[in-house]
C-alpha cells in the first residue's frame, strides 16, 4: 500500500505539471498571436484568459465525476481529450477561432480537481495537507512554460504551431503513462467491490449551500487565480513596461511562477504543523505588502535647476520588482496549500465536489483578472494598475477571513462576547 500510494502521488503530480504547462501556454504563444493579429491589450487579456475559463468551469463536474467513478479513469480521459483539443489550436486563423480553440485547450486545467480527489483518497486526513501540497507543486508547469516555451520558439524559428503540437503530444503520452502506471484508489476500489451505489450529483453538491465554502473560494480566487493571471500577464508586462525581449520576459516571469509552485509542499507541511488558518494570515499580510509596494506607478518629475528645468523618472527598478514578485509567488504558494488543507478536514466525504467548486472559483480568478488587467491598461494607461487592483482584492479577502474567524470563536466560546476588562496592574511602591 505504501509503495502504491507513493507512486500514485508522484505520477499524479507529474501529470498535473504537464496539464498546467499546457493550460498556461498562451502566456508565450499569445504574444506571437497578438503580433500576428494586431490585438490590443484587452483582446490579448481575453485570449490568454479563455483557457482558464474552461479549466475552471470543468473542475466542478470533473471533481464530482472523480468522486463517483474514481480519479484514475477521469484523469486519464480528461488528459486525452485535452491533448486532442490542444492539437486543434493549430488550425485556427482568426481571433474568434483562436478563442474557440482556447476553450478546448482549457480542459487541461480541469485536472486539478480530479487529482485532489484521487490523491487524497490514498492518505489519512492528518497527512493530506502535505500530500496535497506536493500534488499542487504541479503549478510549476507555468514556470516550465514561461521558461521553456520561449526557448522552444527560438529553436523552431518562431513557429508557435510546432510548439503547440509538441505540447499536445506530451500531454497525450502523459495520459497513457498515467493510466498504465497507476491503480484505482482505495475508496473507489472498495465501493466497486461492495457494489455500493454512487452518490448522486445533487447530494455531492449539498455542501455548497454553506457560506464557508464560498469564503474558501474567495481565498483561492486570489492565491490561485491571481497566481495564474500573473503567470500569464507578466511576460506581456515585462515586454511593455520594461521593454524586454520575449525570451528575457519569459525567464523573469518564470522566476515568479517557480516559487509560486515548488513551495506548495512546504505550505502543506506548515498547514499540518501550525494550522491552515495561521498560514492564511501570513499569506494575506505578506501579499498585501508586496502588491502595495509594486503598485506605485512610474512617475515623471520636473524640478528647477541652476541651468533650467531638470526632468527625471521615478519607477521601481527591475531587480526590485523581480525580487518582490518572487516573494509574492512564495507566499501565494503557501496560501494555495493552506486553502486545500481545509477541505478534507471540513468536508471529508465531498472532497471532489468542494475541491471542484473552490478550484472553479480560483480558476475564474485566472480568467477574469487578465481581462481586468488588459482593460485597466488600455483605459487607465498605468502598467502597475493591475497590482493596485490586487491590493484591494487581497485586503477584502483578508478582512472577510478575519471577521469570520472572530465570529466563529465567539460562537465557540460565548464568554468572548462580553466586555473585556484589563487585568489589574500590581504596582509596587518603591
User: For the segment 191-243, what is each residue's pLDDT rounded down to a tens digit?
Assistant: 766 665 555 556 666 666 777 888 888 899 989 889 889 988 998 899 888 88
Residue 287 has pLDDT above 80, yes or no: yes
Q: Which pLDDT band holds residue 429 (cuts at 50, 70, 90)? A: very low
The answer to whether 332 and 283 have CB atoms below 8 angstroms apart is yes
- The grid coordinates listed for 225 are 487565480
Q: What is the DSSP string of 373-401?
A: HHHHHHHT--TTHHHHHHHHHHHHHHHHH
Q: What is the CA radius of gyration of the chain?
A: 23
User: For the segment 40-83, what is each residue's pLDDT rounded down to a tens digit?
Assistant: 888 888 898 899 888 888 877 887 788 778 888 999 999 999 99
CATH number of 2-186+209-412: 1.20.1250.20
Residue whose C-alpha cell is 477584502: 396
User: For the segment 14-38, what is each residue's pLDDT rounded down to a tens digit?
Assistant: 999 999 999 989 888 888 898 888 9
- The grid coordinates listed for 136 are 499542487
The answer to whether 359 and 218 have CB atoms below 8 angstroms apart is no
The answer to whether 329 and 227 have CB atoms below 8 angstroms apart is yes
Element counts in the chain: helices (H) and strands (E) = 20, 2
Per-residue model confidence (pLDDT) at position 303: 44
Between 111-115, 180-184, 249-253, 295-299, the lowest mean confidence (pLDDT) is in 295-299
Closest CA to 316 of 330, 295, 302: 295
Q: Pick the residue with more confidence: 286 or 183?
A: 286
Q: Please state the pTM of the whole predicted model.
A: 0.72
Buried b (16+ CB within 10 A) or exposed e, 69-107: ebbbbbbbbbbbbbbebbbebeebeeeeebbebbbbbbb
Phi, psi dihedral angles at 249 (to 5 degrees): -60, -40
Per-residue model confidence (pLDDT) at position 247: 84
**Cβ-proximal residues to 275 (8 Å cutoff; 6+ apart), any chain:** none
Range of 168-182, 185-199, 413-427 with top mean pLDDT = 168-182
The answer to whether 95 and 43 have CB atoms below 8 angstroms apart is yes
- In angstroms, the CA 145 to CA 256 distance is 12
Mean predicted lDDT score pLDDT of the chain: 82
User: For the segment 221-235, what is each residue's pLDDT rounded down to a tens digit?
Assistant: 989 889 889 988 998
Q: For helices 41-69 and 111-120, what crossing angle results, to 10°?
A: 30
User: For the segment 359-417, what is each residue's pLDDT rounded down to a tens digit?
Assistant: 778 888 888 898 899 888 888 888 888 999 999 999 998 998 888 888 877 776 555 45
Per-residue model confidence (pLDDT) at position 8: 87
The answer to whether 204 and 351 have CB atoms below 8 angstroms apart is no
Between 278-292, 341-355, 362-376, the lowest mean confidence (pLDDT) is in 341-355
Closest CA to 108 of 190, 53, 34: 53
Q: 39: left (phi > 0), else alpha (psi -120 to 50), else beta?
A: beta
Per-residue model confidence (pLDDT) at position 78: 94
Amino acid at each position: 500500500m505504501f509503495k502504491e500510494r507513493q507512486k500514485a502521488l508522484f505520477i499524479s503530480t507529474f501529470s498535473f505539471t504537464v496539464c498546467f504547462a499546457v493550460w498556461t501556454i498562451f502566456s508565450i504563444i499569445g504574444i506571437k498571436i497578438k503580433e500576428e493579429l494586431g490585438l490590443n491589450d484587452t483582446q490579448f487579456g481575453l485570449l490568454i484568459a479563455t483557457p482558464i475559463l474552461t479549466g475552471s468551469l470543468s473542475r466542478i463536474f470533473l471533481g464530482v465525476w472523480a468522486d463517483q467513478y474514481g480519479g484514475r479513469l477521469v484523469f486519464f480521459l480528461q488528459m486525452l481529450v485535452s491533448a486532442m483539443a490542444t492539437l486543434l489550436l493549430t488550425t485556427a486563423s482568426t481571433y474568434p477561432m483562436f478563442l474557440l480553440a482556447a476553450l478546448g485547450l482549457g480542459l487541461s486545467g480541469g485536472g486539478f480537481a480530479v487529482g485532489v480527489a484521487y490523491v487524497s483518497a490514498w492518505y489519512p486526513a492528518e497527512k493530506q495537507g502535505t500530500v496535497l501540497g506536493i500534488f499542487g507543486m504541479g503549478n510549476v508547469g507555468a514556470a516550465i512554460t514561461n521558461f521553456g516555451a520561449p526557448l522552444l520558439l527560438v529553436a523552431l524559428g518562431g513557429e508557435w504551431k510546432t510548439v503547440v503540437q509538441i505540447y499536445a503530444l506530451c500531454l497525450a503520452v502523459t495520459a497513457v503513462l498515467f493510466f498504465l502506471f497507476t491503480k484505482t484508489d482505495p475508496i473507489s476500489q472498495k465501493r466497486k467491490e461492495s457494489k455500493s451505489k454512487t452518490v448522486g450529483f445533487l447530494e455531492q453538491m449539498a455542501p455548497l449551500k454553506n457560506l464557508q465554502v464560498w469564503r474558501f473560494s474567495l481565498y483561492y480566487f486570489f492565491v490561485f487565480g491571481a497566481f495564474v493571471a500573473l503567470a500569464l500577464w507578466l511576460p506581456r508586462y515585462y515586454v511593455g513596461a520594461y521593454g524586454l525581449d520575449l525570451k528575457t520576459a519569459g525567464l523573469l516571469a518564470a522566476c515568479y511562477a517557480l516559487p509560486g509552485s515548488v513551495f506548495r509542499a512546504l505550505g502543506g507541511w506548515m498547514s499540518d504543523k501550525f494550522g491552515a488558518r495561521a498560514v492564511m494570515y501570513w499569506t494575506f499580510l505578506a501579499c498585501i505588502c508586496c502588491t502595495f509596494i509594486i503598485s506605485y506607478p512610474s512617475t515623471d518629475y520636473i524640478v528647477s535647476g541652476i541651468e533650467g528645468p531638470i526632468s527625471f523618472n521615478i519607477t521601481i527598478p527591475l531587480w526590485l520588482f523581480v525580487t518582490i514578485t518572487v516573494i509574492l509567488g512564495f507566499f501565494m504558494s503557501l496560501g494555495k496549500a493552506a486553502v486545500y488543507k481545509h477541505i478534507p478536514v471540513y468536508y471529508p466525504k465531498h472532497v471532489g465536489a468542494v475541491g471542484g467548486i473552490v478550484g472553479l472559483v480560483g480558476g475564474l480568478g485566472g480568467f477574469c483578472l487578465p481581462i481586468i488587467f488588459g482593460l485597466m491598461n488600455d483605459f487607465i494607461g498605468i502598467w502597475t494598475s493591475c497590482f493596485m487592483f490586487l491590493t484591494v482584492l487581497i485586503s477584502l479577502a483578508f478582512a472577510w477571513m478575519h471577521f469570520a474567524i472572530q465570529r466563529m470563536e465567539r460562537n465557540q466560546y460565548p464568554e468572548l462576547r462580553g466586555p473585556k476588562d484589563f487585568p489589574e496592574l500590581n504596582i509596587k511602591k518603591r
